[in-house]
Amino acid sequence: MSTGRNTAVSLAVLALALGAVAAVVPGYLAAEQADVIRRGPGVAAVHKLSRWFPALAGTNGDTDVYVMDSGKAGATGLVLGGTHGNEPAGYMTAIVIVENAVPASGRLLVVPHANRSSMTHTDYQEASPRVIEFQGTSGRRAFRYGSRRPTPPTSGRIPISTCTLHQGSSCRAPRRGTSTAPTPAARTARSPSGWPTRSRR
C-alpha cells in the first residue's frame, strides 16, 4: 500500500473517531448538569437532606427535600423517588408532584432524588442513556438517567454486610450506596429530631 493511500486511510479513521467523540460529548456533559425541577404552587420551602442528617453535607448524597405545606392542620406524607437512578418512573412521578400538586391539608415532603449518588452515575456498559428527554407543552425537558450504583467516589463507604430480598430474585448482596443497602441512617437507632426513625430488621 502506498504512502499516500496510508495517509488517506489514517485521516479517514481519524475523522470517524473525532466524529464519534463529537457525537458523545454533548450527552456526557448533559449528564453532569443538575435536573431542572420547577417549584410548583404547592412548594413552601426547599431544604437539603443534610438539615436532618448533617453528615451528608458536602457529599453527593445530599439532596433536595421539597416541603409542600398547605398551612392547614393535617397529616404529613413522605414521597421518595429515585431509589434506583435507572428506574425513572419513581423520580419522574416525584418531580410531577413537586411541579403540580397543592396539598389541601397537612404537609407533603417530597424527595425526588432520594439516592442522589446513583443519579450522578451511569452504567456505561449496559447501553444506558445518560439523559431522557421529551418535548412538553412548556418546552423541552431533559433529566438524568442514573444507575443502581453510586458515583465512584462514594463507593466503599457503606459496607456490604447483609443481603436484601429483591422481588423475583434470591437473597443477594446489595450494591454499595444504594437505598436498599444498609445505610448509616438505617443503622442509626435514634434519628435526628423531626425525621422519622427507621427500624432495624
The sign of the dihedral angle between the CA atoms of 35, 109, 191, 166 is negative
Range of the domain at 80: 45-150
CA 84, CA 92: separation in Å to the nearest integer?
A: 12
**pLDDT tens-place string over residues 136-161:** 888 888 888 888 777 665 444 443 33
Residues in the chain where the model's pLDDT stays below 50: 154-167, 169-174, 181-193, 195-201
Is residue 132 assigned to a domain? yes
Name the residue type at position 165. L
Mean predicted lDDT score pLDDT of the chain = 75
Is residue 53 assigned to a domain? yes
How many domains is the chain built from? 1
pLDDT at 24: 64
**pLDDT tens-place string over residues 168-194:** 544 444 455 555 544 444 443 344 445
68, 44 in Cβ contact below 8 A? yes
First to last CA, the chain: 70
CA 3, CA 78: separation in Å to the nearest integer?
A: 69
Is residue 76 assigned to a domain? yes
